[in-house]
Chain A
Amino acid sequence: MRKIAISSKVRNNWLIDAILFISALIVLFSSIYFFILPVGGYMGGRNPNYGIVFIMERSGWEFIHNWGGLLMIIIALIHIIIHWKWIKQTTLSVVRALSHKADRFGSRLAWNIILDIIIAVSFLVCAISGLFFFLGGKYSANPFLFSVLAWDLIHNWSGVIMIMAAILHFTLHWKWVVNVTRKLFPQKDFRRANAPAADSANPVSDAS
């Protein structure tokens, strides 16, 4: 019988990432609805798309988008807490590399850091603007800091940038995702069933 060697830390990371991925997919698919039908409401008869129902009503899409987004924020916070040590160490390394006190990074790690910074900043902006709408800022007669339209467009573009950076981040970590997923959900390999399990002694490392 094949022995699966995978640490509980990696398993937990995978689980958190999987939930984050699913909530991101929910938010992404509901975003596509808003990209296609950006304006809701009757708008005094000016909105030709008023009343269009795609699978469900607009309020249903809003519900999914809002609660999916909130779930994503919570899971992302957990993700950040889990990886806090890596974030702290990497930030220090970046500062040292930038001040020429240490060697520069390899190109892969450099890209990873750049992507993570873009994701972190765009996520923060997207989450704050999302919370503005979630807490009813859309209906405020005197909105906080910016106009409702400005909040809306900030949310829109930070979301677009975040998704693009997240896709690249996912691509960069594709091998880790495949490896850990295979370890977590092993399939019976008939070709290797009788052979000694060579890879069981090598636990999958954490890829932050």
Chain B
Amino acid sequence: MVKKTISILALVIAFGGLIWGGVHYTQAKIGFENSAEGETNETLLSEEELLEKTAVVGNIESDEWSLLLEDGTELIIEGRSLTYAVQNGFIPSEGDTLLITGFEDEQGTYEIAEIENLTSSASLLLRNAYGQPLWGKGTGNGGKGGGGGE
């Protein structure tokens, strides 16, 4: 009887944990997807909003590029921005100097709109004039909206 009770209790705990994990996972994924979609706006970016920054490529990894900005801070390119860049053949080398044009979203996060490699003269447009990512929906690529996602 005790053995049976313990077994049922263990099953309930295991199943409860699995359902909690599934719900937590779903909520987190949808939450981040929505917050990423909220970044985009429907108005054209003005000249004042666009900020240019020069950076030197520090570390290139398959899932993350680390750039060192002029002011000594680090800028990380990852997720779909990085994937989009790689898929479009924009792969800088360590030590290359990049000219980055971007803007700050409502949360104050710097979003990259265009990158130009001053060392190799290659360039890539990542966002349109509205600040929407080119891999997002409504941009002809059939992907999802939002930027900077995983």
- Tell me if A53 is interfacial: C-beta within 8 Å of chain B: no
Chain B interface main SS type: helix
Query: A147: nearest residue on chain B (CB-CB)?
Result: B144
Q: Is the CB of A38 within 8 A of B109?
A: no
Indicate whether A141 sits within 8 Å of B147 (C-beta atoms), given known contacts A32-B21, A43-B32: no
Q: Is the CB of A141 within 8 A of B83?
A: yes
Inter-chain contacts of B111 with A (CB < 8 A)? 44
Partner of B26, one of A138, A148, A156: A156
Q: Is the CB of B83 within 8 A of A160?
A: no
| 8 A Cβ contacts from B4-27 to A | 7, 11, 14-15, 18-22, 24-26
Inter-chain contacts of B18 with A (CB < 8 A)? 160, 163-164
Number of interface residues of B (CB under 8 A): 44
Inter-chain contacts of A171 with B (CB < 8 A)? 7, 11
Q: Is the CB of A164 within 8 A of B15?
A: yes
Most buried by A among B25, B30, B80, B107: B25
Q: Which residues of B contact A (CB under 8 A)?
A: 7, 11, 14-15, 18-22, 24-26, 28-30, 32-33, 35-36, 39, 63-64, 76, 78-80, 83-84, 86-87, 105, 107, 109-111, 135, 141-144, 147-150
Q: Is the CB of A156 within 8 A of B22?
A: yes
> How many cross-chain pairs have Cβ atoms below 8 Å apart between A and B?
103
Q: Is the CB of B32 within 8 A of A46?
A: yes
A/B interface sample: 30 pairs, CB < 8 A = A32-B21, A35-B20, A35-B22, A38-B25, A39-B28, A39-B32, A39-B150, A41-B149, A41-B150, A42-B64, A42-B76, A42-B148, A43-B36, A43-B149, A44-B36, A44-B109, A46-B32, A46-B36, A47-B32, A139-B80, A139-B83, A139-B86, A141-B80, A141-B84, A141-B135, A147-B143, A157-B22, A160-B22, A164-B14, A167-B15
Query: A160: nearest residue on chain B (CB-CB)?
Result: B22
Most buried by B among A36, A42, A43, A141: A141
Inter-chain contacts of A156 with B (CB < 8 A)? 22, 25-26, 29
| 8 A Cβ contacts from A30-73 to B | 31-32, 34-36, 38-47, 59
Measured CB to CB, the closest approach of chain B to A104, in angstroms, equals 27
Inter-chain contacts of B105 with A (CB < 8 A)? 44
Chain A interface main SS type: helix
- Tell me if A178 is interfacial: C-beta within 8 Å of chain B: no
Q: Is the CB of A38 within 8 A of B36?
A: no
Inter-chain contacts of B83 with A (CB < 8 A)? 139-141
Complex alpha-carbon distance, A164 and B111, angstroms = 42
- Tell me if A116 is interfacial: C-beta within 8 Å of chain B: no
Inter-chain contacts of A38 with B (CB < 8 A)? 24-25, 28-29
Partner of A149, one of B33, B86, B110: B33
Measured CB to CB, the closest approach of chain A to B24, in angstroms, equals 6
Partner of B109, one of A32, A46, A59: A46
